[in-house]
């Protein structure tokens, strides 16, 4: 990850801080939790209507280009309970999910995977729709 400020919406920041607080006692995922905490600490927090449409927020769909393999993928950044890597739903606690949060179209993102350093270019960002938000609320209610 790069040393620059990212932008996160106020609702996402609140939800992510809650996620961190709830998981800090967990034995696993501590490295990812610390990375996400560091991202939140240095983030610029904005109201949802103040963020640009090409910003990666929670539940944003994004098309990325792997700069090494030249493979394109579409992903959706989600909370851990909504994660389904086979369907392209990447948890914010996964290294790639943490790396993408708060970046914009045309940005290049670097992150460390077990196999080494990877670089992606963010080609396209689609903000979540009202329907996406309704489905998310239903998922949260079902899990609670």
Q: What top-level class would CATH report for the domain 7-128?
A: alpha beta
Burial of 62 (C-beta count, 10 Å sphere; 0-12/13-18/19+) = buried
Q: Is the pLDDT of residue 85 over 50?
A: yes
Model confidence, pTM: 0.78
Burial of 63 (C-beta count, 10 Å sphere; 0-12/13-18/19+) = middle
What are the structural domain ranges in the chain? 7-128
When pLDDT is averaged across residues 52-74 and rounded to a whole number, the result is: 94
- Greater pLDDT, 64 or 7: 64
- Furthest C-alpha separation in the chain: 41
Q: For 9-25, how does the pLDDT look when each residue is reduced to its tens digit (9 = 90+)?
A: 999 999 999 888 887 77
Residue 114 DSSP symbol: T
Q: For 89-123, how does the pLDDT look when each residue is reduced to its tens digit (9 = 90+)?
A: 999 988 889 889 999 999 999 887 777 888 999 99
Distance between CA 8 and CA 40 in Å, rounded? 8
Query: Would you state the pLDDT for residue 36?
Result: 82
Ranges 3-7, 33-37, 63-67: which has the least confidence? 3-7
């Amino acid at each position: 990850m790069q040393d620059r400020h990212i932008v996160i919406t106020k609702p996402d920041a609140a939800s992510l801080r809650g996620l961190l607080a709830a998981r800090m006692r967990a034995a696993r995922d501590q490295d990812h939790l610390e990375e996400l905490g560091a991202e939140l600490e240095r983030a610029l927090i904005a109201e949802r209507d103040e963020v640009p449409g090409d910003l990666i927020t929670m539940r944003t769909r994004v098309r990325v280009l792997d700069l090494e393999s030249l493979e394109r993928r579409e992903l959706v950044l989600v909370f851990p309970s909504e994660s389904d890597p086979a369907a392209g739903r990447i948890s914010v606690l996964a290294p790639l999910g943490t790396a993408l949060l708060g970046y914009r179209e045309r940005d290049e993102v670097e992150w460390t995977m077990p196999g080494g350093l990877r670089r992606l270019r963010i080609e396209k960002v689609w903000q979540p729709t009202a329907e996406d938000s309704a489905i998310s609320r239903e998922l949260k209610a079902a899990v609670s």
